Chain A
Amino acid sequence: MLRGLRDGVVTTRWPGRPDGYSDAWRGPAVLTAPLPAGAAGDLAGICPTGAIRPGPDGVVRLDRGRCILCGRCAERRPAEFGWSRGSAAAVVSREALVVPVTAETERSVGQVRAALRARTAALRRSVHVRHVDAGSDGSEEQEIAALLNPVYDVHRLGIFFTASPRHADVLLVTGAGAHGMAEPLRRTWEGMPDPKVVIAVGTDACGGGLLADSYATSGGIGSVIDVDVWLPGSPPPPFAILHALLLAIGRLPGGSGYGSGERAGGMAQ
């Protein structure tokens, strides 16, 4: 079977050139209008994962890190909720997934991204990636593995997958943080040389998703190891994972610190 790729060039040229499929992803929910004060009562019970709830300051916020993309909020309250579009869903701090972001997060997130850029300066040209499943439903693995198919072909960007943590620069972690995987995950992370970057891939890894309130998970991986980049999605598609990888190694243009230079998940974009 040596007929090669008869279908012509199938490989995307993103991020060098735009790719319509990358822009089309219907991602985690966003706020399209400010939530009215005192909306907590009306909004309670809409979201199956409890992503929409009041914070300590009484303001109702949307935690995109708990959003499993069920669409219920956009369907029931179309004036205030909508879908995000495009693959730039990853951010560099957990707080930045909770919208509207607080002034404090707004201030700190640029610094966090700058620090990450500085830390990963050595990784710009070629990076080695290791994946650990910490209790996923199995779909995130499919989407990560897709990065190796000829459509995404991440080798063209100098991104390689490695079996050994000792050769890995980036750790992709999927799953809700199953208790049984806490120790193996920690060991893998400890086995990686510095500088190392951790990406939480998917809503389950960010906040536990529907399994946040389970006796068998930690509600995401953030309490198990330090996470640098957070990518919601259920599951996030390959382009969103690629975006998160490039964000992690400082290879995305723009620099507001949220994602690719825009306030991902803020008010209407």
Chain B
Amino acid sequence: MRSAGPAAAGGRALAGAAGLAAELAARIGAGARFAGLMAARREDRLLLSAHLAVPGGMETVEVALPSGAASYPALTPAVGAAFWYERQIHDLFGVVPAGHPRLEPLILPAHGEAAPRPWPGPGAAGPEPGGIWPDEHSLPRRVMGAGLFTIPHGPVRSGVTESVEYLIETPGEDIPHLNMRVFYKHRGVEKRFEGMTAGDGVLLAERAEGVASVAHALAFCHAIERIAGVTVPRPAALVRVLHAELERIAAHLDAGARLAEAAGLAVATARLAAHKERVLRLAGQMCGSRFGRGVVVPGGVAALPRLGPAEVRAQAGALEQAVSADARALMGTASFLDRLRDTGPLRPERAREHGALGPVGRASGFADDARLARPYDGYLALRAGEPAVEASGDALARLRVRWHEVGQSFRLVGQAAGELARLPAGPVRVTCPAGDGRAVGWAEAPAGEVLYDVRMTGGVIERCWPRSPSFHNLVLLHEVFAGDILTDFPFIEASFGLSAAGVAL
């Protein structure tokens, strides 16, 4: 497994941010996937790190801006996938990516160099005692005018949903433009990690994005374990797989139920939701938390499941039968399939260019799956099978990918529980010394790869950058509208399966 250290751009010194753009474009052209861009402050310099997924691992390319620099040439013109990342960095650090095509606030609306920021530059203000409040004047005005309508939707929406606002701007006959406001529920998670121990940090990682609690805990702990240079004991590696796969099954059932609900299929919605409840109860019986919280700790897992492996296997087997029967019935409902076919198509070229993650990417032929491409824990030895890939890129393809993965997940649960039953008793965690260093960790969440870039100094977290697949993928919503934006919207949103918590953090 490769995880090149920071500034390991093939040993070459990069000529500032302009050199970074060229370097990234070349690497991406040669097959690497852009996995994210993060910033950190060191004294009066800004450090920019881009993460690239390569076969077998992740590589980090880092540049330091000149001392005191409050601006750098934007990467987005050369690396389109950096579009939201540079806006995020602008909001949090107040640094301007010059030449960025649309530098509007994204997660923390603020205005001007003097505005308070979580990581302010030289001369700018940090958080006040009362915190930082979003400055709504810094948001662009809503488009209005002859033949122009803006249909606001949110942040408080109907049903039980997370807070996010979609502004649908319809300029007459043309394809409407979608504007997303995700800042409403920004919680300052990234900054909150600083100063925590690794043991506390994993608790926060679990709460970065609740529907992917296990995956966030795993990616965080992988980074910590890489810094410490430890490998978790075999039983722990298997218990991690059990919970990660149950989390995936629950999330995919939820996406299926939401799609069925959007289509008005009450019985299918109810049945899939009831199955999801059974999955959460199984996880709860195993560890005490329906979301698998408290299981993953640096160095392994907190304990073996309270349910014996044979019982886990038996329950999962019964569930698999029930789920697959209902999935088959749903996928045989012609009116439902008609509703999903050609809805919200993401072109394969765009999926590849952007490095679309999880089922969204795989439904558009982009097969990256961290469990297979950069395996970790139990996945190194278990047989997950081929990644689920579809070609058509529409909401139907995304659902097909999810059903395929649900089958895979049940098989992995069966395999992991089977092996766990055969293992002799032994420790489930190793001590994870809190040494200094920096590393990247990853895990495949239900919605795609979760990435953590962690730097430990003096036994505590100096800097932690969590990146959820929701953040990376949500920007693609901009471009998947081919038909009627209003009636298709619920299907497209459900088929993406993203969480606003992970976007705004």
Contacts and interface: CB of A to CB of B under 8 A. Distances in A.
Contacts of B131: 179, 214-218
A217 B118 CA distance: 13
Measured as residues with beta carbon below 8 angstroms from the partner, the interface class of chain B is: 35 or more
A176 B210 contact: no
Nearest to A188: B156
A179 B131 CA distance: 9
Interface centre among A161, A180, A214 (most CB of B within 10 A): A180
Contact of A3 (B161, B185, B203, B329): B329
Given A68-B203, A210-B204, A234-B293, A163 B184 contact: no
A263 B145 CA distance: 60
Interface in A1-50: 1-5, 7, 10, 21, 26, 48
Given A68-B203, A142-B254, A213-B192, A149 B211 contact: no
A22 B252 CA distance: 25
Contact of B291 (A2, A131, A139, A161): A139
A211 B501 CA distance: 13
A216 B188 contact: yes
A252 B332 CA distance: 44
Measured as residues with beta carbon below 8 angstroms from the partner, the interface class of chain A is: 35 or more
A253 interface: no
A234 B210 CA distance: 9
Contacts of B196: 48
A135 B500 CA distance: 9
B270 interface: yes
B425 interface: no
A137 B161 CA distance: 12
Given A7-B322, A181-B163, A135 B267 contact: no
A70 interface: yes
A140 B210 CA distance: 8
Contacts of B103: none
Interface stretch (B273-281, B338-346, B373-381): B273-281
A158 interface: no
Contacts of A213: 192
A191 B46 CA distance: 45
Given A1-B329, A70-B203, A235 B210 contact: yes
Given A150-B274, A216-B188, A145 B207 contact: no
A137 B276 contact: no
Contacts of B159: 145, 161, 163
B108 A216 contact: yes
A167 B211 CA distance: 30
Contacts, number: 176
A143 to B, nearest CB: 8
B187 A178 contact: yes
A185 B293 CA distance: 28
Interface centre among B133, B156, B265 (most CB of A within 10 A): B156
A146 B267 CA distance: 15
B252 to A, nearest CB: 13
B184 A217 contact: no
A179 B130 CA distance: 10
Contacts of A181: 155, 163, 184-185
Contact of A215 (B160, B162, B191, B501): B191
Contacts of A209: 207
Given A131-B160, A215-B191, A136 B210 contact: yes
B245 interface: no
A68 B200 CA distance: 11
B155 A184 contact: yes
Nearest to B331: A1
A25 to B, nearest CB: 8
Interface in A125-173: 131-146, 148-151, 161, 163
A150 B187 contact: no
Interface in B154-191: 155-163, 183-189, 191
Contacts of A150: 270-271, 273-274
Contact of B289 (A7, A69, A134): A69
A215 B116 CA distance: 10
Contacts of B118: 215
B94 to A, nearest CB: 14
B281 A21 contact: yes
Given A5-B274, A145-B160, 5 more contacts: A149-B273, A150-B273, A163-B157, A163-B158, A176-B187
7 contacts: A3-B329, A132-B163, A138-B162, A138-B502, A139-B210, A142-B210, A178-B186
